[in-house]
Structure 1
Amino acid sequence: MSECAARRLRSASVHTALNPVPYLLLGVAFVLLMSRAATADEIYFKSGYSRTAVVIREADDAITFKTEMGVSTIRRDKVDFVEKATQEENQLLLRKWRQKELALKEALEARKLAEKRFEEAQLAKGLVKFEGQWMTPEEREHTLSLRKRAEDHHRRFEDEQRAKGLVPFQNLWVTPEHDRELREMEPEIYGLYDEITSQRRTVGALRAAMANVASIEEAERFSRRIEEMNREIDANTEKLGKLLNRADEIEAASVSYQTPEEFLGVLGPDMESE
């Protein structure tokens, strides 16, 4: 085995009815065909990685090389060694990279052309594009009219809740007292979630460390610490449960907006969930 081969072994480690997929598949198929392994310069880095490239220039302090992504320069002290290919092999790889680039460019141009022709065909039918969909002008006006009615309906609901003295909290309408209570509870709930998660991680780390102790006394110390952490987890879990139960009680007494079926899909997702 040559020294070079031995060193190489050591270093190895838009919404539209048009479907443009066939054009892309042609480009991808060509790219895959051209992606078969080609011999070229191989740069082996001291980090253990290697890269197929074409070395353009070598200096005492740096190496400049070309890959499919472009031209890069790396410090010489980061390179272990470079396994050189012949000039003909490097030129073959450069041609393959260029052919892949042209194939992808042609596939994208074909897709754009197909989309343009499809759009022209829809316009010729008298259709209009509205929020990514092609429809008749009458359908668009109907959608806009329905949306206006839906927004008016939602606005009347909000006015009714304010007239009752309710205030919004997230997607609920609650009394001012419940609003204050929920806002006080919210950071405490999130804090308990975070604390319980952290405590459970600690218990897991303690159990892992306990498996490697050298004496019974040390194991007992770990065991006591784990028991102590579990008691804290139980106490925090109980606190969290009480807070969540209270939040559920407030939610049960609250009011939320229910979108009428005739308006579903017309309002935005954020408004529909209210």
Structure 2
Amino acid sequence: KNIVSVFINKVFDPDKQYEDAVRIALLQLACLLVERASQHIHDGDANNKRQGNKLRRLMTFAWPCLLSKNSVDPTARYHGHLLLAHIIARLAIHKKIVLQVFHSLLKGHALEARSIVKQALDVLTPAMPLRMEDGNTMLTHWTKKIIVEEGHAMQQLFHILQLIIRHYKVYFPVRHQLVQHLINYMQRLGFPPTASIEHKKLAVDLAEVIIKWELHRIKEDERETKAEGTDEEFFQESSIKRTGIDSVETRKKSFDNIRDSTVQGKYKLRN
């Protein structure tokens, strides 16, 4: 057994009631193990029951954070989310769990847990398109849903918009479904004369995201155009080379025919 197995099997007890401070420390340790030594937790082999048990034990230890009936400390609760986010980012997890964790984090705008929620989202958001075939669709669906339904709550709105700002590259493929919302909130937050500095800064950040998206699109278009041009040049060069080879072969055949005719003429004259 390695030290990771010892910690998971001997230290993490899903059935034991821990004080919040102890639970937070254990969850932080579990995050470190998953982040730095995930290969010792699960190697991706579905038939490896021993490693499957280690992963299941960690998941069970973190799972109470997703159950609303468990009134645990917000910091402890979202440390559980952070552990699940690390697991999702590095190991294959069922889509339903991924969406449940992501949705819960999108709504986690409480001030006392803002820092840990930000960490969890920064781990999970880039993994969303990689962990599901329709990852981009789900990413957009839940982000838009909360913007539309709960955008009236300023803390919730800030939480979602700042996520998009931090991960604008992840949202780039689905920008068309979000850009109008960003423009609306940019006007709502930054244009009123009574807008606070914080609101104006967020509006400027949103404008910067839209500009970055457009610049990135232009670069991609230029790259595609250049690639297409390179392909055309390649085919043209190949065609020219082929034509040149054909010309050489034609001249060679003509020369051979002339030579053969000359030889035959000389032979007839001698006879």
TM-score (norm 1): 0.22
Specify which structure has the higher proportion of strand.
Answer: 1
Q: Which has the higher contact order (CA 8 A, sep 6+)?
A: 1
Specify which structure has the higher proportion of helix.
Answer: 2
- If you compute each CA radius of gyration, which structure gives the higher value, 1 or 2? 1
TM-score (norm 2): 0.23
